[in-house]
Amino acid sequence: MTETESSTMNRESAQTLVVHDKHDERHFGSVTTPLYQTSLFSFATYAEFDHAMESFTDQPVYSRGNNPTVQQLEQRLAQLQGGEKARCFASGMAAISTAVLSSVRQGDHIVCVNQVYGPARKLLEGFLTKMGIETTFVDGSSKQELQAAVRANTKLFYLESPTSLMMQLQDLKFCADLARSIGALTLIDNTWATPCLQNPFAYGIDLVVHSTSKFIGGHSDGIGGVIIGSAERIGQIDENEYLLLGGIMTPHTASLMMRGLRTLPLRMERFHESGLRVAGHLEGMPHVIKVHHPGLPSHPQHELAKAQMSGYGSLFAFELDLPVETVKRWADQLEYFRIGVSWGGYESLITVPSLPDGYESVTGVLVRMYIGLEDPQLLIGDIERAFKRLG
Ligand SMILES: *Cc1c(COP(=O)(O)O)cnc(C)c1O
């Protein structure tokens, strides 16, 4: 991985941060954070209870406000991402819907990239219109389109860079500057790059969300999300959407996510290398029209990717010049790739997604591929063998 000015923590510091817990007498020096499987916390005196009630979301009183197992994960994620404070949620979508609802009110307008994660698009173009909040979807790679979409009532720019299907980037500094100049907020879905490979705060982005169900959890065994931002902004979310909508992460999930986080920087190095290797090989294979991976020189935004990120995730897409039925038969032949949604675990995955609006540039059948922790050479052999078996 290359070091760039994007100011993500270097990998040794990141790996140290996620494995090093201070010795804690209260927990007998336990190496892992104990799982506080409790709904409430009780107090010996009324004075202590009164004191704790003053900061319901920062001290353990009730697990819809604060739970120490979840809090440890939140603190670690905030540090790793370079934000002041983090709040975890029941899913990536709970984090996204909370972050959006905290940023806009009736009559406001949102500018969003048109290749955004599907359910996020549905939230904006379906659900929010019921509340009188309108969204304009634009080609996020075009500064002109981003600028032209601004209205007098634009209050939020919703970004996802790279997008998780076609790996399209936005220029984060340009977006943050544009938003600031009109008094709007910026929010980015940073799930693909993880806190290890992209620091949006360095470019002036206000809120960062992640689905922790992907790389952060890393073991395909839990669903969760996080919002990271300034103490002030997370404090506002705490008092309103977090407590009132109540989509909390459970302590059990937080303990699974914490275990995943312990190896995140290490795993991202492997994902970076394996993803690039398989994507690079695919570029030369028969039937492959185009590979969409920002780490390949053929990607139209490769220079921006190198400047904004310090490495790459291992989810990418490619287009095949075969009928969709043939592509599905090819997928059936693969030995090491399972067919399934999601990504970010140890196992390689493949899907042939159906494309909504915003993907008019796709000319072949689009395949989404996730490279797990297996030997990349075996995966390449598997892909080649499956093509040969098609005849
Ligand atoms: C999976 C995903 C989400 C949603 O996360 P959930 O945990 O499934 O709710 C959001 N954004 C991206 C880019 C994702 O891949």
pLDDT digits (tens, 9 = 90+) for 65-117: 999 999 999 999 999 999 999 999 999 999 999 999 999 999 999 999 999 99
* 120 φ, ψ (degrees, to nearest 5): -65, -40
Please report the atom of ligand 1 found closest to the CA of residue 224. 7
Domains of the chain: 3-261 (3.40.640.10), 264-389 (3.90.1150.10)
* Strands 154-160, 109-113: pairing kind: parallel
* pLDDT above 90: percentage of residues in the chain: 92
**Tokens of residue 183, six digits:** 């008094």
Beta strand residue intervals within 90-224, DSSP E: 109-113, 134-138, 154-160, 185-189, 207-211
**Tokens of residue 161, six digits:** 């860079």
Band (pLDDT 50/70/90 cuts) for residue 357 is confident
Beta strand residue intervals within the chain, DSSP E: 85-89, 109-113, 134-138, 154-160, 185-189, 207-211, 225-229, 288-292, 315-320, 338-339, 349-351, 365-370
Q: Whose CA is nearest to atom 4 of ligand 1?
A: 92
| Residue 263 confidence (pLDDT) | 98
| Residue 8 confidence (pLDDT) | 80
Residue 213 CB–ligand 1 contact under 6 Å: yes
CA distance 157 to 178: 9
Residue 12 vs residues 40, 202, 257: alpha-carbon distances, Å: 38, 20, 20
Q: What is the rounded average pLDDT for all residues in the chain?
A: 95
Distance 114 CA to ligand 1 centre (A): 16
| Residue 12 confidence (pLDDT) | 86
Q: Is the per-residue pLDDT at 126 higher than 50?
A: yes
Residue 348 CB–ligand 1 contact under 6 Å: no
pLDDT digits (tens, 9 = 90+) for 208-239: 999 999 999 999 999 999 999 999 999 999 99
Residue 358 CB–ligand 1 contact under 6 Å: no
pLDDT digits (tens, 9 = 90+) for 261-293: 999 999 999 999 999 999 999 998 999 999 999
CA distance 158 to 189: 8
Please report the atom of ligand 1 found closest to the CA of residue 225. 7
Please report the atom of ligand 1 found closest to the CA of residue 164. 13
Mean pLDDT of 137-154: 98
Please report the atom of ligand 1 found closest to the CA of residue 343. 15
